[in-house]
Amino acid sequence: MEGVEKVVIIGSGPAGLTAGIYCARAGLEPVLYMGSKFGGQLMVTSEVENFPGYKDPVLGPDLMEQMRAQAERVGARLIQDDVTEVDFRSYPFVVKTTSEERRALSVIVASGANPRRLGFPSEMRLMGKGVSNCAVCDGFFFRGKKLAVVGGGDTAMEEATYLSKLASRVTVIHRRESLRASHSLQKEALSDPKIDFLFDTVVTEVLGERKVEGIRVKNVKTGEEKTLSLDGLFVAIGYDPNTQLFKGQLDLDNNGYLLVKNETETNVKGVFAAGDVRDFRYRQAVTAAADGCKAALDVERFLKEPRQLSLLQA
Ligand code: NAP
């Protein structure tokens, strides 16, 4: 069908780029919108030691650059532009960006999720230099060290419990006097002898020039401020999945993540989801990449169905 793409991919993290690699190698000539900033969360990660295939640690941005170059080499058409609107009610689907509009027989949404930030400059300056959003990714670098985890939800309890196996001490800092986390996760963290809690407390600054050396905290009830010396700060105050664009067209759960069945299928046939935009459980580069692969294989299968096949041959 003239002027209609076989597949458009939205997102350029590990999920989107892996989908791009698989779709390109299957001859689907994918168009991949990278967003105005390419690479996703790994662009603010320093050393990655758990992505298979790299014997030595690789820097997050270098890993993403390799994936981008690989996708391009096998024929994915990468476009640095933000998708601003989609229409999944008409078919072929419509995807609009700041500068163009394309129609597509299938779409893979791999727009990711953004970790929430505390929101002061020293947090971003020391991101990847002691400030992290992922215990599984970075905990290994902090064996025997003193750490803090910010947050009172399930993620914070899981991060603290995971880190306590590696660190010498973990302090959970929560802005209220009671935790939001589920009873079982709370219980596990509260009974862990290596975890202590600072309630009614917020972090006001991360200290250190080239790496984290401590934090400033403030008790929100008494106003008392103090400095804690630390080696790492894990910010676990939730994620915002990038699903604003899809509201009203794709089914979302209560936290805004895309709902899927059979791993990749959204409620709109022909629209698939991959990576952190639908997965709040694993959130790893390797699981996002695996998701991208699955979505691409599902697109291939979808395009072989009679309706799509006849459109492709038209
Ligand atoms: P969450 O439930 O939204 O919790 C975020 C926590 O961070 C809350 O305690 C919140 O405080 C605090 N917070 C938010 N903004 C803050 C700020 N600016 N400064 C300081 N603290 C701040 O997020 P989540 O823990 O990532 O969980 C998200 C969803 O995934 C939940 O539905 C959760 O149940 C689910 N999840 C499940 C599992 C599991 O079942 N194993 C694991 C992880 C996540 P307040 O409490 O004061 O609002």
Question: For 230-275, how does the pLDDT look when each residue is reduced to its tens digit (9 = 90+)?
Answer: 999 999 999 999 999 999 999 999 999 999 999 999 999 999 999 9
Confidence of residue 84 (pLDDT cuts 50, 70, 90): very high
Indicate if 94 and 8 belong to the same structural domain.
Answer: yes
What digits encode the pLDDT tens for the residues 30-57? 999 999 889 988 887 778 889 999 999 9
Average pLDDT (203-212) is 97
Enclosing domain of residue 128: 117-235
CATH value at residue 47: 3.50.50.60
Catalytically annotated residue among 23, 87, 138, 240: 138
Q: What percentage of the chain has pLDDT greater than the value 90?
A: 89
Query: The sheet that has 77-79: what strands, in order across it?
Result: 77-79, 31-33, 8-10, 107-109, 271-273
293 is catalytic: no
Q: Are 246 and 109 in contact (CB under 8 A)?
A: yes
Give dist(CA 79, CA 242) in Å, integer. Answer: 18
Indicate if 102 and 194 belong to the same structural domain.
Answer: no
What digits encode the pLDDT tens for the residues 263-277? 999 999 999 999 999
Query: Which atom in ligand 1 lies closest to the alpha carbon of residue 176?
Result: 47
* CA 179 – ligand 1 centroid, Å: 9
Inform me whether the pLDDT recorded for 23 exceeds 90.
yes
Average pLDDT (50-79) is 96
Inform me whether the pLDDT recorded for 1 exceeds 90.
no
Indicate if 296 and 257 belong to the same structural domain.
Answer: yes
Indicate if 227 and 130 belong to the same structural domain.
Answer: yes
Indicate if 257 and 172 belong to the same structural domain.
Answer: no
The letter for the amino acid at 188 is: E
Tokens of 49: 């030691």
Contacts of 179 (CB under 8 A, 6+ apart): 152, 153, 157, 186
196 is catalytic: no
* CA 22 – ligand 1 centroid, Å: 34
Catalytically annotated residue among 137, 231, 291, 298: 137
Number of domains in the chain: 2
* CA 142 – ligand 1 centroid, Å: 23
Give dist(CA 46, CA 65) in Å, integer. Answer: 14
Indicate if 195 and 129 belong to the same structural domain.
Answer: yes
pLDDT value, residue 194: 98
Q: What percentage of the chain has pLDDT greater than the value 70?
A: 100
Mean pLDDT of the chain: 95
Nearest to 74 by CA among 40, 26, 108: 26
What digits encode the pLDDT tens for the residues 145-186? 999 999 999 999 999 999 999 999 999 999 999 999 999 999
Query: Which of these three, 186, 211, 235, is where a domain ends?
Result: 235
Inform me whether the pLDDT recorded for 132 exceeds 90.
yes
To the nearest 10 degrees (0 to 180), the angle between helices 154-164 and 183-190 is 30
What's the pTM? 0.83
Q: 238 CB under 6 A from ligand 1? A: yes
Confidence of residue 308 (pLDDT cuts 50, 70, 90): confident
Query: Which atom in ligand 1 lies closest to the alpha carbon of residue 117?
Result: 18
Q: Are 204 and 216 in contact (CB under 8 A)?
A: yes
Q: Are 40 and 12 in contact (CB under 8 A)?
A: yes
* CA 57 – ligand 1 centroid, Å: 30
Confidence of residue 305 (pLDDT cuts 50, 70, 90): very high
Inform me whether the pLDDT recorded for 2 exceeds 80.
no
Tokens of 13: 């993290």
Query: Which of these three, 194, 212, 235, is where a domain ends?
Result: 235
